[in-house]
Copies of this chain bind each other. A is one copy, B any other.
């Protein structure tokens, strides 16, 4: 597959895309600033690629391993009712995964966070992003 060149104005080539919780040479995990979804993370490929199948098989596996370590961490830290995983990229076609802890009383539940809200807002929940970053680093430490 021939990779298309990155669009000149790709925001995920240009910027981190959120507060970086963890990164290596391949990808980064950022905290999404959404008051309705504390703990919402994105896993973003560092280089520009559009689809999972633009990656080599070992890279797909590596990226999913990070996505699923984030899922495991969020389950452990927040005990959500559900975790939502999604790679969409219709607006920003630079490979990134949404990892969203969902609760029965959150703003959109049981709908996806992109749908019409079910209620005005989510109840407040405290999430310590720095602690999440540290625990993620422990989980993803090589070796």
Contact = CB atoms under 8 A, between A and B. Distances in A.
Interface of A: 50-53, 60-61, 64, 68, 71-72, 75, 82-91, 93, 102, 109-112, 114-116
Given A86-B85, A90-B109, A68 B60 contact: yes
A86 B89 contact: no
A84 B87 contact: yes
The complex is assembled from copies of this chain, and their number is 2
Contact of A115 (B82, B84, B114): B114
A83 B53 CA distance: 10
Given A90-B109, A90-B110, A109-B90, A83 B115 contact: no
CB-CB nearest 3 A-B residue pairs: A86-B86, A90-B110, A112-B114
Contact of A112 (B52, B53, B88): B88
14 contacts: A51-B75, A51-B82, A53-B75, A53-B83, A64-B64, A82-B88, A82-B90, A84-B88, A86-B86, A86-B87, A86-B112, A90-B110, A90-B112, A115-B115
Given A51-B71, A53-B83, A90-B112, 14 more contacts: A50-B82, A53-B71, A53-B72, A82-B89, A82-B93, A84-B86, A84-B88, A84-B89, A86-B88, A86-B112, A90-B109, A91-B110, A111-B114, A114-B114
